[in-house]
Amino acid sequence: MILKKDQRSKAIRNRKRVTMTRYGLFQEVPISFDTVLKKLPLELRRKGFEVLSNIRIDSELQKYLGVDFKRYAILGVCNLALAFKSLNRQEDSGLVVLCNLIIYEKDNVTVIGILKPTQFMSMIQNELINQDAAIIERKLSEVIDSLGKKRFQKESPCSVSFQRAVA
């Protein structure tokens, strides 16, 4: 079934914008995939993160397997100051200091997701590192929330705060 533009906009506004799973936090935003990829590094930097890797999964699947896939990117982001503290506390924490953030298109909407640092860093079983994970998770959720709020203020009065979902 093909929806007209106004029907699609209404469907987007009525959908649940925030999803939480045991391992991740996801938010749908009516911002284009390209716009998210362009604005996200600046928003991350404002909260103390750097993008250390940017993998376009769709391009890699096409290149190596010759298959088409929806637009999909995985960003490896890191708060280097907190990573430095974690590495000094426990060297093997380097396995988890890089946080994965995903961006993909689904039903004409861009989805942004983060792997919950509190979930995967808890495997290290170091209370100080777990405290840092909570800080990282809060800051990453604020970044994603800010992208949604800026766009929702212009296009839709309907918004679920990503921050409230994390709290």
73-132, pLDDT tens digit by residue?
A: 999 999 999 999 999 999 988 888 899 999 999 988 999 999 898 887 888 888 888 899
Contacts of 80 (CB under 8 A, 6+ apart): 50
| pLDDT digit string, tens, across residues 10-38 | 544 544 467 777 778 999 987 899 999 99
CB contact burial 97-121 (16+ within 10 A = b; e otherwise):
bebbbbbbeeeebbbbbbbbbbebb
17 CB burial (10 A radius; 0-12, 13-18, 19+): buried
Continuous segment of H or E residues that includes residue 78: strand 72-78
> What is 19-166's CATH superfamily?
TT1751-like domain (3.30.310.70)
134 backbone dihedrals φ, ψ, rounded to 5°? -65, -40
Q: Which two tokens stand for residue 63?
A: 């290149």
Tell which residue, 94, 167, 105, 77, has the closest CA to residue 129: 94
Highest mean pLDDT among 5-14, 55-64, 102-111, 146-155: 55-64
Give the residue extent of every domain in the chain: 19-166
- Count other C-beta atoms under 10 Å from residue 76's C-beta: 15
